[in-house]
């Protein structure tokens, strides 16, 4: 059976690693966070990145914030690429700059590794349930090689182009999702100020043309419920939109809505909300939209 290592056991990585463990694929994991070693699926397997993981795994899955963390794991005398393991496949589930992704893929190729950049969507709940959507950049043959592994963590796995294409589409995807979150919040706030019942407003949106994943899932499950547990931080959204805006600028693409969303999320960071769950933006939207 294919042996898999997972680097990164945060909100997304935990669910991914747990599903790979249940399917019998998981052989090694690593996360420097305190307590990560105590997670149930870590028992009886290698807890180390770098050489140890590289030597024992056919596939290594990265579930870390950006390509910067991947580079730190690949490089150096004890890094993953220091071990001779031709044919090993590196699966990059980060949200990263596609140009940096292509650089990492090229370095991996020199060391005999294949590289797939897989933008993922579905949130932490999708990671837990194994129902993520993956938008994949890379070679079709490599994707087919690891498809049985990816099928354990994702319901939809789509090859969208060559190296870097998966991360390009993920940036575009997040441009739409995060901008939609803010504009939906703006509309809901306006409705509440007009005296409308927010639950009824969301029901109408979901029965009409204003429906979206945000209105169907995020608002009912994480905002109207009062739980505010979307399991992603304001800083994550700001990071993604900052990269998307920079990508648009580099490629000469006008993206005014993306820049506005990026600016609002940067303002949220400046307000001290970086580590807060992103759904808590909604009850504080007035503070964000009407700065003193």
What's the pTM?
A: 0.95
Fold topology of 168-289: 1.10.1040
DSSP symbol at 119: E
Q: How far apart are CA 195 and CA 189, in angstroms?
A: 10
C-alpha dihedral over 123, 124, 126, 129, to 10 degrees?
Answer: 180
Per-residue pLDDT of the chain (292 residues), as tens digits, is 899 999 999 999 999 999 999 999 999 999 999 999 999 999 999 999 899 999 999 999 999 999 999 999 999 999 999 999 999 999 999 999 999 999 999 999 999 999 999 999 999 999 999 999 999 999 999 999 999 999 999 999 999 999 999 999 999 999 999 999 999 999 999 999 999 999 999 999 999 999 999 999 999 999 999 999 999 999 999 999 999 999 999 999 999 999 999 999 999 999 999 999 999 999 999 999 986 6
Domain spans of the chain?
4-162, 168-289
- Three-state SS at 132: strand
Residues in the chain: 292
CATH number of 4-162: 3.40.50.720
Integer angstrom CA distances of residue 87 from 10, 60, 265 = 27, 12, 41
- For the purposes of burial, counting CB atoms within 10 Å of the CB of 87, is it exposed (0-12), middle (13-18) or buried (19 or more)? exposed
- For the purposes of burial, counting CB atoms within 10 Å of the CB of 210, is it exposed (0-12), middle (13-18) or buried (19 or more)? middle
- HSE value, Cβ hemisphere, 13 Å, CA-based, for 281: 31
């Amino acid at each position: 059976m294919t042996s898999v290592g997972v680097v990164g056991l945060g909100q997304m990585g935990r669910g991914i690693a747990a599903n790979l463990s249940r399917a019998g694929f998981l052989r090694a994991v690593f996360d420097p966070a305190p307590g990560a070693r105590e997670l149930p699926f870590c028992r009886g397997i290698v807890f180390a990145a770098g050489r140890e993981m590289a030597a024992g795994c056919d596939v290594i899955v990265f579930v870390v914030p950006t390509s910067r963390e991947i580079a730190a794991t690949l490089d150096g005398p004890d890094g993953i690429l220091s071990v001779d393991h031709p044919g090993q496949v590196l699966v990059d589930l980060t949200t990263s700059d596609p140009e940096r992704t292509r650089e990492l893929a090229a370095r991996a190729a020199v060391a005999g590794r294949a590289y797939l950049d897989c933008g993922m969507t579905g949130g932490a709940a999708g990671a837990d349930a194994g129902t993520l959507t993956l938008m994949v950049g890379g070679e079709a043959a490599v994707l087919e090689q690891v498809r049985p592994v990816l099928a354990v963590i994702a319901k939809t796995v789509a090859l969208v182009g060559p190296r870097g294409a998966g991360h390009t589409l993920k940036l575009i995807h997040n441009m739409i999702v995060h901008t939609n979150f803010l504009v939906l919040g703006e509309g809901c706030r306006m409705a509440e100020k007009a005296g409308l019942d927010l639950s009824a407003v969301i029901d109408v949106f979901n029965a009409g043309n204003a429906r979206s994943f945000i209105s169907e899932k995020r608002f009912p499950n994480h905002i109207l419920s009062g739980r505010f547990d979307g399991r992603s931080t304001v800083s994550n959204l700001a990071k993604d939109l900052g990269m998307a805006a920079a990508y648009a600028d580099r490629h000469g693409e006008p993206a005014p809505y993306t820049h506005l969303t990026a600016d609002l999320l940067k303002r949220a960071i400046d307000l001290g909300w970086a580590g807060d769950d992103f759904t808590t933006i909604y009850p504080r939207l007035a503070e964000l939209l009407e700065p003193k």
